[in-house]
Amino acid sequence: MSLSDHPSVQRHRSAGAAPRANAPLTEAEVLQLCRDCGADDVALLSADDPAIAAQRNEIERIFPEARTVVSFVCQMNREPVRATVRSIANQEFHETYDSVNETARTFVRELQNRGHRAVNAVAAFPMEQDNFPGKNWALSHKPIAVAAGLGKMGLHRCVIHPKFGSFVLLGTILLADEVRAEKRVLDYNPCLECKLCVAACPVEAIGVDGSFNMLSCYTHNYREFLGGFGDWVETIADSKSADEYRERVPLNETASMWQSLSFKPSYKAAFCISVCPAGEDVLGPFLEDRAAFVDRFVKPLQDKSETIYVLDGSDAQDIVAKKFPNKKVKTVSWMNVEPTGPSLLFGMRLSFQRRRSKGLDATFHMHFTGPRAISGTVSVRRLAVDLDFGLKGVADVVLRVSGPTWVELLSRKLSVPDAMADGRLEVEGDAELVTRLVECYPRYGRVAQDGSVAEPA
């Protein structure tokens, strides 16, 4: 049978009329349709907007034809998120993520039925695991929402909507149509800088000075995602018997991991969102009686008895027991990282431990050798790290090292003097400063029961 004789082709051609051109989409039409599909607020911006230039490659990879970006939010119910019972808070997160995805899917279907092309970007937790442990999410929703005027980043690194506050989840839809729209501008930050998120965070990931310890947040809150799950599997593999496994992993932790695998992963905290009083709909009780607000929403989380997961050699390991005596500290392993120059250099910003850097004031020109060689500048001053891809300024120390050797140094299996002695590390300047730099980062590798560190995979 030739193509022209196929029944589907004949029916298509028998329709006779040429495809009609779709009427251009208007801003009002798109905004209302998105709200009708479930969004609580929505805004548009051009895919070429300079404010999202850093996301342009992501957008083009997902939908090269994208001309307009639709950013929207769905509200979470506040009281469930504030619950000290994590199953209740987690359920609210998961249900709202489902609402975000359903809103986006319904919106795209409606446009498709009207002859317009669109793509709903995945709104749930990162799923591009072929790229793990590198960037494993398809689209960065936070900077898009900020650029669209739907909110501003708070001290806790979450987007705060001016009305709904921190109790929102974000979604993004890409349209092939170029929709003429007036860009929405939010000319103030709803964040009150009240520091309640700092007070509630069980691993002090949020600093009073605005700093953020990403790795401490990641290690605890996402314990049953990604790297934490890998650490659990490796614990099983390392255990010589069921009894040894039970010594390493209490029964309730095994049950929690089973629940995450059979249902949906369990967030361990998100306390920073639950105590945030920002947003017009949320602000009232905080303004009426701040002490009562703290007693009702902050102290129960601070006093809660729970296990806090920390990395060996991290700031969190030092401060949790002192700050939260009711919480039990458990040292776990850092997830494996790609031992290449670009990954390790980028990771030096994310995994920096500011408390461990006290007294260090130096600039390092780092040359990572081997495959994917790269050079960069790392400056540590006043409990903060600054990172540049490329050589900037005058260095106190110049060092050359391969990615695998740097990982061994981070694991503390190899010392700086030994690495220099066998030619695996070249240092121009004070080698003690390199040792101090290594100490600014958590120990890489698995921590055994005797406190030793297993060799990284």
pLDDT tens per residue across span 423-440: 999 999 999 999 999 999
Q: What is the pLDDT of residue 154?
A: 97
Angstrom CA distances, 420 to 180, 341, 423, 443, stand at 61, 19, 5, 20
Whether residue 133 lies inside any domain: the answer is yes
Q: What is the pLDDT of residue 121?
A: 86
Question: Distance from first CA to last CA of the chain, Å, rounded?
Answer: 57
Q: Which long-range contacts (CB under 8 A, 24 or more apart) does 450-453 make?
A: 453/312, 453/411, 453/412, 453/413
Check whether residue 365 and residue 234 sit in a common domain: no
Does residue 219 surpass a pLDDT of 50?
A: yes
Whether residue 93 lies inside any domain: the answer is yes
Check whether residue 127 and residue 29 sit in a common domain: yes
Check whether residue 112 and residue 254 sit in a common domain: no
Whether residue 314 lies inside any domain: the answer is yes
Q: Where are the alpha helices (DSSP H) in 184-269?
A: 196-200, 214-221, 226-238, 242-248, 251-262
Check whether residue 164 and residue 203 sit in a common domain: no
Check whether residue 168 and residue 216 sit in a common domain: no
Q: What is the pLDDT of residue 444?
A: 78
Check whether residue 257 and residue 371 sit in a common domain: no
Whether residue 273 lies inside any domain: the answer is yes
Does residue 457 surpass a pLDDT of 50?
A: no
Whether residue 185 lies inside any domain: the answer is no
Check whether residue 204 and residue 150 sit in a common domain: no
pLDDT tens by residue, 259-271: 888 888 889 989 9
pLDDT tens by residue, 151-190: 999 999 999 999 999 999 999 999 999 999 999 999 999 9
Q: What φ, ψ does residue 271 adopt, rounded to 5°? A: -65, -30
Q: What is the pLDDT of residue 266?
A: 87
Q: What is the pLDDT of residue 130?
A: 65
> How many domains does the structure of the chain reveal?
3
pLDDT tens by residue, 69-89: 999 999 999 999 999 999 999
The amino acid occupying position 443 is: R
Number of H helices, E strands in the chain: 20, 13
Q: Which residues form the domain of 387?
A: 341-438
Whether residue 186 lies inside any domain: the answer is no
Whether residue 184 lies inside any domain: the answer is no
The amino acid occupying position 386 is: D
Q: Over range 269-297, report the average pLDDT.
A: 97
The CATH code of the domain that includes 404 is 3.30.1050.10
Whether residue 212 lies inside any domain: the answer is yes
For residues 108 and 118, the answer to whether their CB atoms sit within 8 Å is: yes
pLDDT tens by residue, 402-411: 999 999 999 9
Q: What is the pLDDT of residue 151?
A: 98
Check whether residue 282 and residue 425 sit in a common domain: no
